[in-house]
Structure 1
């Protein structure tokens, strides 16, 4: 008999009147049932969060930092348990799931450190005659309660990137995990319940997507942090123009291999990193490699290496230690990827490896000669598919990167420091990675995009800034 998991309402366990199933993407087996909060329970959670705003903001830094330290420590202690839960609900290979738990540990550790060292700044105002005897103290205060809406692809770490910064600044948060992958967030709730955070400062509500608009519109939640599709993200932003909305949306990340990256060792490294990060997480990462843009002088050698290394990716049961690429989150997602590849082939693309589906799994796939009118040329595939593109020179390569509605991150394989700075200046993305794939992310660095890839930044301190506003205190009559 499968136990129904309770949710977390204002810091305590609760259950609703209905439940939904969570199934394993690999074999569709039943993993768990999850209780769904009623409308009355959602209202209770929102009211509790609103009431907690002044209380939580006034908590001392050591209390918030101590709670964050506790979460980091307990996540580390429960790594294997939580990693296997991630694999069961998400289909992520176990080795990547363990890495995700490790990253979440770091996020909470960073948040604890930032909570302790966030001191504001001071300004002397007597730089002009009218400011004689005046001194300013600038501190940041929470904008109010946060609605955090998390996606399925990193069901723990992207939850951490919403919860940890909110706790660090003393902003109550209502977390809505993705319906496909709520279990990691519910375990995080277990750990949060072990702390002394104020009642109402956090809730984990696995509400149905149909109920999300009401939460989005609720004026008691003035901050929204959303990670997911660009379509849904901008619908949210457009529907609440007076709220502070941060959006971490999609991409179709490019890896650029320039002419100076031309030794066998160089190309082996680039091909290995491209193959790995086009397919890790089943390609279900916003910064997964989708486009490879290579200078004509290295293109043919690089293609041969990329195809070989993609073909060597081990697919299969995600609980197997050897598996590199597991299933997508569900069969529907794999069928969509399949249809997009079929569209590309029908329009002239060539499949160099892969191109087949088995249930919810899609084989790691490499395409060449992708036509500009194929869906894959412009949309985010969110699957294990990459395309190869030949260009002549750096200018054409950078123009190809920028020829996209998205702009999250790009990787540039070059040894030239001048080219590295040029890439930083010219590429229309939120992050440029030199000498590696675009998929690198350190959880303390600012992370986010431009154009259709979103607004605002994740990365603990940068999210803390988004959740707060500056308030100035001016002292008068001082002998400075």
Structure 2
């Protein structure tokens, strides 16, 4: 008999009146059942968070830092167990799941460090005559309770990017994990329950999506941190214009290979990284390589290498250490990817490899001659599909990158430092990676996009700033 996983209500275990199933996308097996909080329990969690906010904001830094250190340590100790759980509920290959746990370990460690060293700043005000004898202390304080809404593609690490910064600044958080992948977040709840964090400072509620509008609208939750689709994200923002909303949304990430990146070793490296990062996580990453924009002088040689390396990606059971690409999160996701590729082919695109579906798995796919009116050319595929584009100059390459509604990250393969700085200046994205794919993210760096890729930044220190506001204390009558 399958045990129903309880959720975490104001720091304690709780069970609702109903539950739902989590199934493995590779073989359809039952991974677990998860209890659904009732309306009364959701209200209890929100009320507890609002009541806890003043005291939690005043919690000594060492208390918050110690809790964050504990979470980091326990995640590391339970790495294999949690990685297996991520693979089971998400379908990502176990080697990528282990990497995700390792990143979450670092996120909580960095949050502990930031909690200890966030000191604010001081400034003398007697720089003008009217400020004589005056001195200011500027500190940051939480804006209030955070509603964190997490996606399915990184069910632990993107949860960590909401929970850890909130705890670090002393902001209560109500976490809503994705319905497809709630189990990793519930394990994180187990670990948080081992700490001395005050009751009400955190909850993990697997709330059905249809119940979210009321939670989003609740005035006791003034901060919303959402990661997911641009459609849902902007619906949330538009529905609560007076709230502080951070959106980490989609992408259509480009890898640019310029004329100076032309040696055999250069092209091997570019092809290897492009093949890996168009397919890692099954392509279900906002910064997966979706577009390859290559100078005509290197295009043909690069295409040959990219196709070969994509074909070499190992597919199959994600629990196998040798597997590079597992299934998508569910069969509907794979069917959508299939329909987008079929649409591109019907409009004139050529499939160089892949282009087939089996259940929830879609084969690593490379497409050339992609017409501009194909949905694959403009939308985020969120699957293991990349398209190849030939250009005749750096100007044309950078224009092609910017010809997108999205602007999350871009990778530029070049040895020219001037071109690197030009890319940083001209590309309309939140991050530029030189000499590598756009899919690199260090969890301490500011991460986010422009245009339809969202607003605000994650990265522990930057999310902490996002969850807080400056408050000035002016001291008067001082001999400075």
Deviation per CA, 1:331-376, whole angstroms, max 9, x where unpaired?
Answer: 0000000000000000000000000000000000000000000000
Rounded to whole Å, the distance in 2 between the matches of 1:175 and 1:275 is 34
> Tell me, what secondary structure is at the counterpart of 1:420?
helix
Structure 1 length normalisation: TM-score? 1.00
CA deviation vs aligned residue, 1:232-266 (integer Å, no higher than 9, x gap): 00000000000000000000000000000000000
What does the per-residue CA deviation read over 1:99-122, in whole Å, with 9 as the maximum and x for residues that have no partner? Answer: 000000000000000000000000
Give me the whole-angstrom Cα distance separating, in 2, the residues matched to 1:137 and 1:427.
38
Matched, 1:107 2:103: no
Distance of 1:259 and 1:117 partners within structure 2: 45
Deviations 1:461-480 (A, max 9, x none): 00000000000000000000
CA distance in 1 between counterparts of 2:288 and 2:53 reads 37
Q: Using the alignment, how far apart are the partners of 1:239 and 1:344 within structure 2?
A: 34
Q: Which runs of 4+ in 1 moved over 4 A?
A: none
- Give yes or no for the alignment of 1:288 onto 2:288: yes
Aligned residue runs from structure 1 range 407-418, under 5 A: 407-418=407-418
Match of 2:431 in 1: 431
Structure 2 unaligned spans of 5+: none
Match of 1:133 in 2: 133
Question: Over residues 38-88 of structure 1, what are the superposed CA-to-partner deviations in whole Å (9 max), with x where a residue is unaligned?
Answer: 000000000000001101000000000000000000000000000000000
Q: Deviations over 1:197-224 (max 9, x none)?
A: 0110000000100000011000000000
Deviation at 1:296, TM superposition (A): 0.3
Distance 1:467 1:140 in 2: 9
Equivalences for residues 220-259 of structure 1 within 5 A: 220-259=220-259
Q: Structure 2 CA distance, aligned partners of 1:53 and 1:154?
A: 28
* Residue 412 of structure 1: how far off its partner (Å): 0.2
The 1-side partners of 2:97 and 2:319 are apart by: 10
In structure 1, stretches of 5+ residues that fail to align are none
Residue in structure 2 matched with residue 475 of structure 1 by the alignment: 475
CA RMSD of aligned residues (A): 0.2
Question: Displacement, 1:291?
Answer: 0.1
- C-alpha offsets along residues 168-204 of structure 1, whole Å, 9 cap, x if unaligned? 0000000000000000000000000000001100000
CA distance in 2, matches of 1:235, 1:54: 30
* Aligned mates of 2:328, 2:128 — CA distance in 1: 62
Within 2, Cα distance between the matches of 1:297 and 1:214?
55
Q: Following the alignment from structure 1 to structure 2, what is the Cα–Cα distance between the partners of residues 435 and 376?
A: 25
Q: Distance in 2 between matches of 1:453 and 1:215?
A: 23
Rounded to whole Å, the distance in 1 between the matches of 2:52 and 2:243 is: 19
Distance 1:419 1:456 in 2: 27
Distance 2:126 2:199 in 1: 44
Structure 1 counterpart SS, 2:442: coil
TM-score of the superposed pair, with normalisation by structure 2: 1.00
How many residues of Structure 1 are paired with residues of Structure 2 in the alignment? Answer: 480
Distance 2:390 2:253 in 1: 16
Cα distance between partner residues in 2 of 1:394 and 1:116 = 45
Q: For residues 111 and 267 of structure 1, what CA distance do their matches in structure 2 show?
A: 38
